[in-house]
Structure 1
């Protein structure tokens, strides 16, 4: 809202008049005087617009004559006030312009309308057809029925008369019976023929009456118009007949209804309701033709456009019957199999249906919840896995559990496994032991945080690694016995660091278990670790493509309690992960579309698997989280020794030679460009650095400690003048450390 300046006199508007017949709404009490004209304070924007319109126009002021001084001129009824300038020549021109544009718009709209089924010609054709159908009526059906009855009756009468005529007189009884039957059939035939004639007469009479009603007025109008006014009257009569036909066909009901399509579904855009649910379950043969569902919660649509409902099946029909028929139900709904989600509730015959508007898990993944952590994670609590088909977060607990992740190549096993691996890495109390049977580097970013890491896909090294795991499991149980405890708890693990949770992750298990030399040994040791290690705080997860009995022995596979089946090529492959009979119960990873990358059936808690998509983390986000985990473990003092710098690990030995080599490594690191260590340094630089650190060393001692070959002793240019001096290569320093102390960078 705008205001007039304080120092400006408010302008006076032109006088106004009200339409003839309008009166003030309420009278002002006697004794109150009302001025003959009033000064109004309009909005400046409106006043400027009025001035531009009236620029250059000579307006004559019309005084308002007030017949009653006791009336309030602002208290009029609903009759609008007409400004004086509207009654001028310019006002009438403006009104005429508006009227002309509106009529031209109506004419264009009428022309466009004639091309549709609501055009007047289409209405006239439709009305003519409807009127003619009404004139014909339904009596023809009765005539046809009576004609058929008369034809049959006359045929039977002829047969009976022929039988009576040719029956011998000597057979008196049969002759009498035949004559009576002929007379009866003849009477019935005569009655049938009479009924036929009466039906034809009634049809003719009713048609004539309706024809008179329909065709009489137009014919009368045409003849009367032609008689009274010639061709002009004839035209008027034709237009009247046209108007009658157009009026009869004004509603295109028959044309808008597609009678050829007798089935509608959610895929066609229909609304889910109780009759549709009954029809769908009957079409899928889940319930009988005379049975119906009982709606516990009526169908409703959420904000995403998805439909949900809770229904009870008829008595005697379990929920697993509907779960097995999920493909048939999806077909009856007119949607993809993955769009339909069925969940069995707390009663055997109660189901919850959820129908997504579009194929789930095809939109870009949301930001992972681990990226929002400002502190360490808790691997003893629940781990976020990802959203389900409704977008609700799904979390599981892996305490005293073990898991199996499977799916075809490219289904997203590595990205799905990151949800568990990153949660474990962000808890500084968890010990990581990883084995990468793929050898492709998917687990390589986790190596600095692992106390044991097998990344070369070496079955022999993994077999040795399992020996260490079993030995550690025995040590844990020995400690639990001394403490008088049965299993590891969070409080017990915090009090005794030896009992911290350990995650053993095996990627591409198939490569290890199918090895000719170590496959059976690895399977046996894994089975021992999975079956006995849970109470000792050792959590084992295995990932493979198809964990069949030829890849993973069933005695080991059945011990893995958490199952996660990503997209599979066959229902049988899905059953090898989720268990036998899961696909027949409606939980088949074969139904997961290729667009639903990272989605799979997770069976961790509850009686049925849940379709979820793992939280996705890009490579940059994984590195960011692992850097954060590295800082958390460094602060907590749980960073593996292999993750410490090589120089720090050398200083832990307390040896003079180790301390000298640690200083040498630090010198190489400090002299390198952009954070990378230098590849070669002069011996004088290394001696000066050692002496400045308080280590008394001579060139002979350094040369005796780091033995160089003749090629490594060749002098190289150094310094601004480029003088050639003797030095030490970094590779020789590292090789000396590895040979003497068994440490590598």
Structure 2
């Protein structure tokens, strides 16, 4: 380091040079290049120079650090434009504004597209506007022209008739001829005046129409034509768009509201919404409430998932719910729908009703599969049984424990399908004992025969009466066991412990055929009344089905004991009352209102409830077979499947008597010779003897004749075989009679 001292010492300076010993330390970030060696100086001088440099450096003060300039931006501050924050002018603000604007425009475009499908679409608006402007152009002068034309035609015909009468009046009549001529002249003058008025009315109409047509059609034609002349097709397009916009503006209001003069008479049947004023109007029209009274809406009218209207209403004080229910027909007329579409039920208290109005006629769609098809285990007949959906689509179930029922309706109403809901539920419970009687003899109950402990399918009143007597004996045995066990009635737990006390279902189809029989009708009625009145506590459930259970078909003493009533479609309200009870139709529950399309629907009335419109679950023939196959398997596993009835031959073999075995073999020979047409009615005696000997029974013709007694007519020889040889023989009827008489068996 060298200091050069000059004469001017006012601003001392120092020059610093690198010392020879200065080297870059290890790891430093700078590099000192090699520099030439400084000139040699005196050591004392070097010391003086260094001290002077230290003094100069000590006097020099470091400058104060510069303070950074901080710019504070208030993002909530506003500039001169009102309600526009400062951050809106930033990049992020403009981006957000652009996104909002884009999304708003896109949503607006979508709304515009959806709007075009409605009555507020621009095309429909233009159509309404064009129609309204055209109607204004046409005007009302046409009515005056038509009236003048009609008057002119009438007067012209009268003038023509008067002229004809004057022309053909003989001149010799004098005054009559003159009077006829004057009448003809007056009629002609009146006709000419009427024709002139007609012409004037037409002229005025045309002048007014032309003037209005110029006002309406002139500007669009001028705009389109002028635009085409000025700028070609572009101008014509602009004129057409302007015309379209003007027409849409003129038709912005729906035309129907302007032209509908009957809006106050519209109803649910016309597609209107159910409102509180509509409810008041309908109930007033049905005479349920007075003209000055109103309903209190507890639950506002609303649409359910099926598209039906439902509401809960409070009637004015002093008006019971049954008054509204009785007026179902009048309410349906006020709502503009069918009576079957309106359903009214009491809700909680006497003056509160629940109104349900379906969109279409209920129960006309295809029935859904019944719930029994989904069963993976045996059913429980002690619990609730699914009957079917009501008009709201809600499932309806009933309990048949200690109950009895009556199902009635006209032919084709769906009694067989309705009965299957109860019969299948009983069949799918292996614990239930089935006793069935088919008074129709048509085979509807035949698929259940192999599950029945007793079955009468031939529509035989005598056989049915014997069945009832056997059932009464079983009922007495049940009561004897209950008395022994110290119980009053059968419960599910008790029936599970004692199989002889299992539930028993007696189903009688077409009861009318049995009760109207001259010989056994009264006996059957008495036996049924005994079973229904006493058998409930013994676990015997009785159901009867018939067409019209009037007093001439079913005695009222029996009918009134049947607690469950199911009225399918009936032809008259009186027929409906014979099922549901007297006064049901007057209370608004009439099966007469059920339409023919609503097959399987009916009013179900269980104890303690009002009748409910229910459609029975429907099972096809294939589904019935599938369910009965399950029932058979479950009963076989449970050991409750009834054994097939023994034939007369098998009964004879169980006797263990030699003569019984001979007669059993004779019956087997008859069975072996049966054909497709049926069993053979007669066989030769020699053939029977040979078959008996072949089976190990050394029987002679004399012994066989002693076993089977024949009359002289039975001993007559008959042709047999291909050659037609006449042989004596034995009729099948005589063989069966001999077996049943000697051993007390049944064929």
> TM tier, shorter chain?
0.5 to 0.7
C-alpha separation in 1, matches of 2:260 and 2:635: 71
Assess if the C-alpha contact under 8 Å between 2:532 and 2:562 holds in 1.
yes
The corresponding residue for 1:535 is 537
The corresponding residue for 1:118 is 127
- Describe the shift of the 1:387–1:744 C-alpha distance in structure 2 as closer, same or farther (beyond 3 A): farther
> Equivalent residues in 2 for 1:81-160 (5 A)?
118=127, 121-122=130-131, 124-125=133-134
Assess if the C-alpha contact under 8 Å between 1:125 and 1:246 holds in 2.
no
C-alpha displacement at 1:661, in angstroms? 8.7
Assess if the C-alpha contact under 8 Å between 2:669 and 2:688 holds in 1.
no
The corresponding residue for 1:362 is 364
The corresponding residue for 2:315 is 313
C-alpha displacement at 1:671, in angstroms? 12
C-alpha separation in 2, matches of 1:76 and 1:477: 88
C-alpha displacement at 1:635, in angstroms? 3.3
SS at match of 1:257: helix
SS at match of 2:530: helix
SS at match of 1:469: helix
Deviations 1:528-564 (A, max 9, x none): 2211111111111122211112222222111110101
C-alpha displacement at 1:643, in angstroms? 4.4
TM-score normalised by L of structure 2: 0.60
C-alpha separation in 2, matches of 1:500 and 1:119: 76
C-alpha separation in 2, matches of 1:664 and 1:620: 40
The corresponding residue for 2:355 is 353
The corresponding residue for 1:633 is 635
Deviations 1:107-129 (A, max 9, x none): xxxxx999996277546456789
Deviations 1:362-400 (A, max 9, x none): 122222222333333222222121121122221111111
Residue 437 of structure 2 corresponds to residue 428 of structure 1: no
Please, which of 473, 477, 491 is the counterpart of residue 475 of structure 1?
Answer: 477
Assess if the C-alpha contact under 8 Å between 1:449 and 1:643 holds in 2.
no
C-alpha separation in 2, matches of 1:76 and 1:345: 56
Assess if the C-alpha contact under 8 Å between 1:128 and 1:249 holds in 2.
no
Assess if the C-alpha contact under 8 Å between 1:403 and 1:561 holds in 2.
yes
- Describe the shift of the 1:370–1:703 C-alpha distance in structure 2 as closer, same or farther (beyond 3 A): farther
- Describe the shift of the 1:667–1:500 C-alpha distance in structure 2 as closer, same or farther (beyond 3 A): farther
The corresponding residue for 2:416 is 414
Assess if the C-alpha contact under 8 Å between 2:126 and 2:247 holds in 1.
no
The corresponding residue for 1:609 is 611
C-alpha displacement at 1:620, in angstroms? 3.3
> Equivalent residues in 2 for 1:436-455 (5 A)?
436-455=438-457
Q: Which runs of 5+ in 1 are unaligned?
A: 1-70, 80-111, 131-214, 691-695, 718-726
The corresponding residue for 2:561 is 559
SS at match of 1:422: helix
C-alpha displacement at 1:678, in angstroms? 12
Larger Rg computed on CA atoms: 2
- Describe the shift of the 1:734–1:614 C-alpha distance in structure 2 as closer, same or farther (beyond 3 A): farther
SS at match of 1:506: strand
The corresponding residue for 2:386 is 384
Assess if the C-alpha contact under 8 Å between 1:299 and 1:307 holds in 2.
yes
C-alpha displacement at 1:420, in angstroms? 1.5
Please, which of 336, 339, 342 is the counterpart of residue 340 of structure 1?
Answer: 342
Please, which of 392, 396, 406 is the counterpart of residue 404 of structure 1?
Answer: 406
C-alpha separation in 2, matches of 1:741 and 1:363: 59
- Describe the shift of the 1:683–1:371 C-alpha distance in structure 2 as closer, same or farther (beyond 3 A): farther
The corresponding residue for 1:258 is 259
C-alpha displacement at 1:243, in angstroms? 9.9
Assess if the C-alpha contact under 8 Å between 1:571 and 1:590 holds in 2.
yes
C-alpha separation in 1, matches of 2:622 and 2:742: 37
The corresponding residue for 1:153 is none
Please, which of 581, 585, 591 is the counterpart of residue 579 of structure 1?
Answer: 581
Deviations 1:661-683 (A, max 9, x none): 98999999999999x99999x99
- Describe the shift of the 1:253–1:307 C-alpha distance in structure 2 as closer, same or farther (beyond 3 A): closer
- Describe the shift of the 1:637–1:78 C-alpha distance in structure 2 as closer, same or farther (beyond 3 A): closer
Deviations 1:567-605 (A, max 9, x none): 111111111111111111111000000111111101114
Residue 250 of structure 2 corresponds to residue 249 of structure 1: yes
C-alpha separation in 2, matches of 1:503 and 1:441: 19
C-alpha separation in 1, matches of 2:531 and 2:405: 13
TM-score normalised by L of structure 1: 0.60
Q: Which runs of 5+ in 2 are unaligned?
A: 1-90, 100-120, 140-211, 723-728
The corresponding residue for 2:270 is 268
Deviations 1:179-201 (A, max 9, x none): xxxxxxxxxxxxxxxxxxxxxxx
> Equivalent residues in 2 for 1:87-236 (5 A)?
118=127, 121-122=130-131, 124-125=133-134
C-alpha separation in 2, matches of 1:501 and 1:404: 19
- Describe the shift of the 1:258–1:375 C-alpha distance in structure 2 as closer, same or farther (beyond 3 A): same
C-alpha separation in 2, matches of 1:648 and 1:632: 27
RMSD (CA atoms): 4.8
C-alpha displacement at 1:656, in angstroms? 7.3
C-alpha separation in 2, matches of 1:77 and 1:244: 31
The corresponding residue for 2:181 is none
Assess if the C-alpha contact under 8 Å between 1:566 and 1:600 holds in 2.
yes
- Describe the shift of the 1:77–1:660 C-alpha distance in structure 2 as closer, same or farther (beyond 3 A): farther
The corresponding residue for 2:508 is 506
C-alpha separation in 2, matches of 1:600 and 1:403: 14
SS at match of 2:367: coil
SS at match of 1:360: coil
C-alpha displacement at 1:427, in angstroms? 2.2
C-alpha displacement at 1:352, in angstroms? 1.4
C-alpha separation in 1, matches of 2:631 and 2:419: 17
SS at match of 2:259: coil
C-alpha separation in 1, matches of 2:248 and 2:540: 84
- Describe the shift of the 1:542–1:643 C-alpha distance in structure 2 as closer, same or farther (beyond 3 A): same
Deviations 1:16-55 (A, max 9, x none): xxxxxxxxxxxxxxxxxxxxxxxxxxxxxxxxxxxxxxxx
C-alpha separation in 1, matches of 2:382 and 2:539: 10
C-alpha separation in 1, matches of 2:536 and 2:300: 45
C-alpha separation in 2, matches of 1:126 and 1:299: 39
C-alpha displacement at 1:627, in angstroms? 3.5
SS at match of 1:300: strand
C-alpha separation in 1, matches of 2:554 and 2:252: 70
